[in-house]
Amino acid sequence: MRRIACLAAVTVIGVTLAAASYEAQSDRHPIRPLELTDNLYVLTSDPAEQGMRTGGNTAVFLTVDGVVLVDTKIKGYGADILAQVRQITDMPVTTIINTHTHWDHSGSNPEFPDTVNIVTHENTAANMASTDCDDGAGFEGGSIKNCEQFQGDNARFLPDTTYSTQHTLFSGADRIDLYYFGRGHTDGDTFVVFKDARTVHTGDMMARKGLPFIDAANSNGSATEFGATLQGAADGIPDVDTVITGHADDPHVWQDLVDYAGFYNDLLMQAHEGRAAGRSAAEIIAGYKLPDRYADFAAPAGRLQQIVPLLLEGR
Ligand SMILES: [Zn+2]
């Protein structure tokens, strides 16, 4: 009985999704579901593949009234996300929280019904509503203007609920706390805390155990403030054990987020010391030393070359 109802729901919504969807993604990547608790799941990508794959990690949270998604991956993956949800529950998707504006985290928002309550930080809502956006050159062959999919008739898929510093959704076992600690990866990054599960989704404030991409050019992110924002989260979010990152394939633990703040702020300190000693950005990058205690964090040259000049310019 349950199986029949489930298949019917998939068919009806599948037709809607196909019509609403943009052209099918030519390059499909599988979604890998992980069960964290009996009402919290995360949809990652196949660890055997490299690169962006399905986009950012999507959390699936079951409440008494419906399903909450955190982030919706790349445009065209709405049907794939919904198919995974249908493996877990027949309940409708009622809420989407986007950790930030980027194409790989809010790309398939318009593939869900426009009755879904979309929740973001107020700056992310403004970024999505912008008529001039660019999610950063160099991602898979060029710039991607994700805000364009929220224009015209699609403005109905812009956020319905926004907040400025802290916001709570639902209560009891369903409680979700949203936190904003300042600029970093963008100027509207939300930390999403599933209270009962003692789990946080960090979005790209911790994409993985490595130096971040700072979207200073288009979404008002800040390399200079990234460390303080991360430290704000480490100090200000209580009672979390498990960390869903923006892009890592497996969940991390709270100490990893604490260490991530330390790792980033150590780079900030090395850049400031280098500047005080009169060294150039190139010299600071060449002289960068990864502290032993952060040996499991990656500091690739390309990221240092983006971040260090921003730090020296106070951006
Ligand atoms: Zn991002």
> Over the stretch 27-75, which tens digit does the pLDDT of each residue have?
789 999 999 999 999 999 999 998 899 999 999 999 999 999 999 999 9
What tokens appear for 286 in the block? Answer: 């060449």
What tokens appear for 294 in the block? Answer: 């952060």
4 C-alpha vs ligand 1 centroid, how far in Å? 38
Containing H/E element for 224?
helix 223-236
pTM (2 d.p.): 0.90
- Is pLDDT at 109 greater than 50 in this prediction? yes
Task: At 208, give phi and psi (nearest 5°).
Answer: -170, 180
Identify the weakest region by mean pLDDT among 13-27, 140-154, 191-205, 273-287.
13-27
> Over the stretch 182-217, which tens digit does the pLDDT of each residue have?
999 999 999 999 999 999 999 999 999 999 999 998
185 C-alpha vs ligand 1 centroid, how far in Å? 7
Confirm if 146 and 189 have CB atoms less than 8 A apart. no
Mean model confidence pLDDT for the chain: 91
Q: What is the pLDDT of residue 7?
A: 38
Task: At 120, give phi and psi (nearest 5°).
Answer: -145, 170
Q: What is the pLDDT of residue 26?
A: 55
In whole angstroms, what is the distance from residue 255 CA to residue 33 CA?
24
Confirm if 184 and 221 have CB atoms less than 8 A apart. yes
159 C-alpha vs ligand 1 centroid, how far in Å? 17
CATH number of the domain residue 92 falls in: 3.60.15.10
2 C-alpha vs ligand 1 centroid, how far in Å? 38
Q: What is the pLDDT of residue 129?
A: 96
183 C-alpha vs ligand 1 centroid, how far in Å? 13
172 C-alpha vs ligand 1 centroid, how far in Å? 30
3 C-alpha vs ligand 1 centroid, how far in Å? 37
> Over the stretch 158-177, which tens digit does the pLDDT of each residue have?
999 999 999 999 999 999 99
188 C-alpha vs ligand 1 centroid, how far in Å? 10
19 C-alpha vs ligand 1 centroid, how far in Å? 27
In whole angstroms, what is the distance from residue 58 CA to residue 23 CA?
21
Q: What is the pLDDT of residue 134?
A: 78
Count of domains forming the chain = 1
Of 35, 27, 102, 94, nearest to 65 by C-alpha is 94
Q: What is the pLDDT of residue 142?
A: 59
216 C-alpha vs ligand 1 centroid, how far in Å? 11
Domain of residue 8, residue span: 2-312
